[in-house]
Amino acid sequence: MTAIQRTLPDEAVPVVLAATGTHGLVVHAVNAAGAARGILAGARVVDVQAIHPDLHVEQADVSGDQAMLKRVALWARRWCPWTVVDGYGGVADGILLDVRGAAHLFGGEARLLRDMHARLVMQGLSARLALAPTRGAAQMLARFGVQGAMCDDADVVELLAPLPVAALRLPRETVRLLERLGLRTLGALEAVPRVGLMRRFAGTAEAVNPLVLLDRALGRSADPLDAPAEAVRCLARVRMAEPVIDPLPWLEGLADDLAAQLAQAEQGARQLRVTIYRVDGEWRSRDVSTAQASRDAAHFVRLVAGKLDGIDPGFGFDLMTLEALRVEPLSLRQDRLDGGRDAGADVAALLDRLTAKLGPSKVTWDAWVQSHKPERVARAVPALAGGEEAAVEVARERPLRLFDPAEEVVVLYAVPEGPPARFSWRRVAFLMVRFEGPERIAPEWWRDRAGTRLRDYYKVEVTDGRRLWLFREGIVGDARGGAPRWFVQGVFG
Amino acid sequence: MMSDSSYGQLVRLGRTSGMGGVADMPTPDVPQPVLKDALSARPFDAAVTAFVLACLPRSKLPVLWVQDRASRLENGRVYGPALRGVKLLRVDVSHARDVLWAMEEGAACAGLSAVVGEVHGAPPVLDFTATKRLALRAETSGVPVWLIRSGAVEGLSAARERWRISSLPSDAHPHNTAAPGAPVWEAELFRARGRAPGTWTVSRVGSHDGRAAEGSENNLRFLSRSGDGSLEADDSHTAHAAG
């Protein structure tokens, strides 16, 4: 249907779109010439190529088709406000429009369909159109009826009667069951006594129950359209009479405009993009994120102003936009009754400013990891991404400050048991006075690489009272390297 | 004493307990919204960190902790599992200029319980003007601000209190004579506005001697250094000088 636009062969040559199947490439879609030769979707491409040596194969872009269909569904709101992508089994292959009350704007239903057809052809798309009182009838007529089929409440039953039961979009086994019962068309299904069929399909889910689907298609039960809301798009722009170099004086007006638009839509911005359009045709943009949805114009100015230094105006620019890329619902917030402000909002604004200037990796909360290794316990998460977490409980005393990576000490005088009596670290000699330990921390075999040595931790007090956290990596004779080495990992307060 | 700005003022130093000059001092724990300096007397001494943490107000709000690269390498990072109930919002920057900027931003934010900045050495940007700006910000917003400085630092500062902290040999361990016990620090208040400077031996209340720290407003106990004379003598001396 919507293949990648590129040079295709003559219309007489069969073209197939190939998708990856379980056993190699299979045919995903066929053009008219291919269908005329009897190529079916689902056949293996190698087989089809053997039969038709002149076959032209293109790679299918299924996800691209889906995305395009969604965009077309939103574009189709030019005819009516309620449009939705239609599909079966998670794969969209159509668009439903609820044109009730909108057809007269285009001069009646027939002219509406003609207008749709003409405009879709202008977009380079081929479409099968149908108009029916219910969405079930419309989707069946569009796929199995004649092109441009139209019906109303009076003749919907006659129009649907010759369609095969597969038009109801039933699972293959249900279709086979109905055909074995001799019910090949919807007319036949409608004609048999209902009670017996009801009993047979009593346990079937609603979405695949042929009677329920038929009732919906014939308008006996309600089947409303659930159209997604249109995305809120807030964009403020300012045009200059002549090219300017400095964007800063225009920023305040843009921020005010954007904040007013957001307030109108009761939304707050989570991500902003400021773009300048230069006179040489280039454009430059900068993005900033916020920790909390906001529509505070002064806050926008503070955030964006710091980003404008790195933006290159070239020979000047004559258009500047400020856009809310991501918005969240934000109702009006009231200050507290005692006149105080919301502390959380203050911190969120601070996070935004710090992150915008210093970068997301520099402003962090601690996240905690279940690990034995002291340096692995704490992990920094960007403040805009995560929240605060409660600290892990460690049974043993832990140093107030940690060196990561640990720093090696030079042992001057070793004793058989316990930490070295004299050692040198950072080119200063220390004399151990008291110590506590050892606390043994074994390597984490599920995480460390093989050959990692265990650690014996000691809390060591030196002569002037400073308390260090030393560890010995490995023990003598553990067959994991040479003599054990000593490291300083932390300092106690 | 003559060079001190508090010369000529009658300074009240709180109640004396009558136990041979050992007094509970008014501590810096009552969070005053001012800028305070905490200097480390010796390299990589975590006593100054522990002292500042003990002086922070008890609050559910986060503490903004800003560190420059030099202090991160020299003194290490503050280790989360050792903090009890303090939520840290860390800002790791490379230059002291960014530390000052982040501290100023934080000092203007009423949603923080405190702002702590760490700078190693004496970078030129950290001059009297910069500290004056910080002090004014802190007094305007009501957020206490601490500046921890390590390395050989002497110089002007507009901080309302300047402390120099160092570790002392720790107390005896209650169960193990060979092991270090509860930490003891020496705290020297060498410049202060509105109170007398002095030197104290500081220990934690209820860290090893079994006294609970919950009810008390602060959990630090300040003892005047033995051999320096009792506090009453200091007090009367000041009063005499004033008269």
Mean pLDDT taken over chain A: 88
Q: Confidence band (pLDDT; 50, 70, 90) for A339?
A: low
Q: Which domains does chain B have, with CATH numbers?
A: 35-169+177-205+216-242 (3.40.50.300)
A153 and A191 share one domain: yes
A376 within domain boundaries = no
User: How many domains, in total, are found in chain A?
Assistant: 4
Touching check for A417 and chain B: CB below 8 Å? no
A251 within domain boundaries = yes
A295 and A258 share one domain: yes
A352 within domain boundaries = no
Q: Are strands B114-120 and B63-67 parallel, antiparallel or unpaired?
A: parallel
CA A411 to each of CA A7, A72, A427, A474, A487: distance values in angstroms, whole numbers, following the listed order:
75, 73, 12, 15, 10
What confidence score (pLDDT) does residue B24 get? 42
CA A3, distance to chain mean position in Å, is 24
User: How does B66-88 read in b/e, with b if 16+ C-beta sit within 10 Å?
Assistant: bbbebbbebbbbbbbbbbeebbb
Checking if the pLDDT of B5 tops 70, the result is no
* Residue at which a domain ends, from A287, A302, A337: A337
- Among A246-250, A279-283, A428-432, B85-89, where is mean pLDDT lowest? B85-89
Checking if the pLDDT of A19 tops 50, the result is yes
Range of the domain at A423: 401-492
A229 within domain boundaries = no
Cα dihedral B105→B108→B113→B117 (10° resolution): 40
Checking if the pLDDT of A410 tops 90, the result is yes
A203 and A135 share one domain: yes
- What residues 112-151 of chain B have any CB closer than 8 A to a CB of chain A? 112
Q: What is the pLDDT of residues A205-251, one digit of tens each?
A: 888 888 999 999 988 888 888 888 777 789 999 999 999 999 899 99
A84 and A32 share one domain: no
A177 and A244 share one domain: no
Checking if the pLDDT of A331 tops 50, the result is yes
Output the DSSP codes for A202-260.
TTS-GGG-HHHHHHHHTTSS-----PPPPPP-EEEEEEEEEEES--HHHHHHHHHHHHH
Q: Confidence band (pLDDT; 50, 70, 90) for B222?
A: confident
A240 within domain boundaries = yes
Closest CB to A492: pick one of B46, B91, B98: B46
φ, ψ (nearest 5 deg) of residue B124: -60, -30
Across the range A404-421, mean pLDDT stands at 90
Touching check for B109 and chain A: CB below 8 Å? yes
A177 and A242 share one domain: no
A298 within domain boundaries = yes
A212 and A79 share one domain: yes
A87 and A193 share one domain: yes
A178 and A200 share one domain: yes
Touching check for B93 and chain A: CB below 8 Å? yes
CB-based contact B225:B34 (threshold 8 Å): no
Looking up residue A267, the CATH number of its domain turns out to be: 3.30.1490.100
**How many helices (H) does chain B have, and how many strands (E)?**
5, 10
Nearest chain B residue (CA) to A458: B179
A27 and A49 share one domain: yes
φ, ψ (nearest 5 deg) of residue A430: -125, 150
Checking if the pLDDT of A131 tops 90, the result is yes
Q: Confidence band (pLDDT; 50, 70, 90) for A333?
A: low
- Mark out the alpha helices in chain B (DSSP H runs): 47-55, 69-75, 96-107, 128-141, 231-242
Closest CB to A464: pick one of B42, B49, B101: B42
The CB density around residue A238, as the number of other CB atoms within 10 Å, is 15
* Torsion sign, CA atoms B44, B48, B50, B53: negative
- Tokens (6 digits) for A112: 């509406």
d(CA A448, CA B133) in angstroms, rounded, equals 48
Closest CB to A362: pick one of B42, B46, B93: B93
A373 within domain boundaries = no
Q: What is the pLDDT of residues A340-393, one digit of tens each?
A: 666 677 888 889 889 988 988 999 998 888 888 999 888 889 988 877 777 677
Higher pLDDT, B17 or A233: A233
* Residue at which a domain ends, from A337, A358, A376: A337
Task: Supply the pTM of this predicted model.
Answer: 0.62
| CA distance to partner chain A, nearest, from residue B21 (Å) | 25
Cα dihedral A417→A421→A423→A429 (10° resolution): 170
Q: Is there a contact between A461 and B170 if contact means CB atoms under 8 Å apart?
A: yes
Checking if the pLDDT of B15 tops 70, the result is no
Higher pLDDT, A306 or B25: A306
What confidence score (pLDDT) does residue A105 get? 93
Q: Is there a contact between A350 and B105 if contact means CB atoms under 8 Å apart?
A: yes
AA identity, residue A102: A
* Residue at which a domain ends, from A292, A310, A337: A337
A271 and A416 share one domain: no
- Mark out the alpha helices in A290-433 (DSSP H runs): 297-305, 343-358, 374-377
